[in-house]
Amino acid sequence: MSMLIPPPLSLYVHLPWCVRKCPYCDFNSHEFKGGTPPFDAYVDALLADLDQDLPLVWGRTVHSVFFGGGTPSLFPADAIERLLQGASSRLRFAPQAEITLETNPGTAEHGRFEDYRRAGVNRISFGIQTFDDATLKTLGRIHDSAQAVAAIDLARNAGFDNFNLDLMYALPDQTLAMAEDDVRRAIALAPTHISHYQLTLEPNTVFAARPPTGIPDDDIAWDMQEHCQALLADAGYAQYEVSAYARAGRQCAHNLNYWRFGDYLGIGAGAHGKLTLGSEQTILRRWKHKHPVAWLAAAGTPAAIGGDERIAPDRRPFEYMLNALRLVEGFTPAAFEACTGLAYAVIAARIDTAVAAGWLTVDAGRIVPTALGRRFTNDIVSLFLDD
């Protein structure tokens, strides 16, 4: 065994409500029907939730904050500001910490982005998905392409110079030309970051129960991915993760921390956290109860905790690889040892198997997925899953 060294720490804040649940979405999101969500009560509960978890992270610095959902942009800026002020009074925030707010273009209003910036948000992530209006309707989105462009312009005019566009491909009845057109239109809007990921039919979603027609097969989806990757590369967006592309220096710090097996504190209904407890030399996963009403009623008490799990040493290689092998940069033996508390020798033979298969390379002490390996990430990761 090696010494477990606590990695960088992030804060994830889950805001669970949305205007309408998308049929492909398996996130913990809930349509709010009637009236207005209890924004003030929810922020109070978030701070109580944070207070309960604080003993797990005393003395540590938060390097990034991510507001996910649901639709975080439903929340008014003053609620976001109160949460950030409360969190920064309880935890040390790094100078220039990245603070991201997920935004649905259908909820963008003039003046909101200026207020979010004043509140402390410095990065916006837009859920665009596609610029094809007919497909947006199929996906259950509440915005159209014109609203998407208008929302991006509003954010830029408010002073945001760091924003992401989420795009999906292999959508119902989508052709290769349509997928490429989405990427070209995204590039024309000059975001600093583009997430480009394949539609999957997740369990317990409307699409899983009633799959839409016309979903491209795997070969067509792979063609879409390859062609769109080339367009992004030509436009200066370097791939740094399976589905993430960024301008130089504009990678998402929060998601990078996930993929490097960093720590994150999760607050809010259904939020998950992963924390390295140096004093105990263990890794803790903690999750909160999912339903907003039940979580609100119990926030700040042990009853709000859905569960705690210590990641057993024999499980850590799989958990680590599940994240690290998504990265183009790969990982080093030293990083593996620091984050898992295990000697590299524990995984050396399995690394050799993946190298022999052409999935990984070992160069100057860094283990890196090959182009073939990035296509078969799940197969590589499965090598590290003990029976």
Here the CATH number for the domain that contains residue 375 is 1.10.10.10
Domains identified in the chain, total number: 2
Q: Please give the share of the chain, as a percent, with pLDDT higher than 90.
A: 86
What is the chain's mean pLDDT, rounded?
A: 95
Give the CA-trace dihedral at 180, 199, 285, 383, to 10 degrees. -90
Are 200 and 344 in the same domain?
no
Task: Give residue 32's pLDDT.
Answer: 81
Q: Could you tell me if 224 and 167 are in contact, meaning their C-beta atoms sit under 8 angstroms apart?
A: no
Q: What is the average pLDDT across 69-73? A: 92
Contact indicator for 2, 342 with CB cutoff of 8 Å: yes
Residue 110: per-residue pLDDT: 67
What pLDDT band is residue 109 in, cutting at 50, 70 and 90? confident
Return the residue matching tokens 């947006």: 136
Torsion 178-180-184-186 (CA) sign: positive
User: Quick check: is 33 in a domain?
Assistant: yes
Angle of CA points 13, 15, 20, to nearest 5°: 150
Query: pTM for the full model?
Result: 0.96
Residue 328 is assigned to a structural domain of this protein: yes
Least confident of 1-5, 11-15, 56-60, 227-231: 1-5
Residues 6+ apart with CB under 8 A from 44: 299
Q: What is the pLDDT of residues 33-69, one digit of tens each?
A: 777 889 999 999 999 999 999 999 999 999 999 999 9
pLDDT bracket for residue 2 (50, 70, 90): confident
Structure tokens at 72: 């975080």
For 362, left (φ over 0), alpha (ψ -120 to 50), or beta? beta
User: Looking at the structure, do residues 216 and 350 belong to the same domain, yes or no?
Assistant: no
d(CA 178, CA 197): 15
Among residues 146, 140, 142, 157, which one has the least CA distance to residue 104? 142
Same domain, 18 and 154: yes
Domain range for 361 is: 314-382
Same domain for 319 and 247, yes or no, is: no
Q: Is the pLDDT of residue 270 over 90?
A: yes
Of 114, 122, 140, 113, whose CA–CA distance to 84 is shortest? 122
Q: What is the mean pLDDT of residues 245-260?
A: 98
- Give the least confident one: 28-42, 84-98, 157-171, 360-374: 28-42
> What is the distance between the alpha carbons of residues 82 and 260, in angstroms, rounded to a whole number?
30
Phi-psi region of 30 (alpha: psi -120 to 50; beta: other; left: phi over 0): beta
Query: Rounded mean pLDDT of 323-327?
Result: 96
Spatial separation of the C-alpha atoms in residues 330 and 317, rounded to whole Å: 14
Whether residue 31 is predicted with pLDDT greater than 90 in this model: the reply is: no
Q: Would you say residue 276 lies in a domain?
A: no
- Find the mean pLDDT for residues 320-327: 96
Task: Kindly give the pairing relationship between strand 193-198 and strand 244-246.
Answer: antiparallel
pLDDT at 1 over 70: no
Residues 190-235: tens digit of each pLDDT: 999 999 999 998 998 899 889 999 999 999 999 999 999 999 999 9
What is the model's pLDDT at position 108? 79
Within a domain: 133: yes
Average pLDDT (172-197) is: 98
Query: Does 289 fall in a domain?
Result: no
pLDDT at 333 over 80: yes
Residue 294 lies in a domain: no
136 pLDDT tier (thresholds 50, 70, 90): very high
User: What is the β-pairing status of strands 282-288 and 305-310?
Assistant: antiparallel
Domain of 69, CATH number, reads 3.20.20.70
Report the SS3 class of residue 69.
strand
129 occurs within a structural domain = yes
Please tell me whether residue 34 adopts helix, strand or coil conformation: coil
| pLDDT, mean of residues 65-79 | 95
Residues 161 and 96 in one domain: yes
Same domain, 252 and 320: no
Among 257, 276, 302, the domain boundary falls at 257
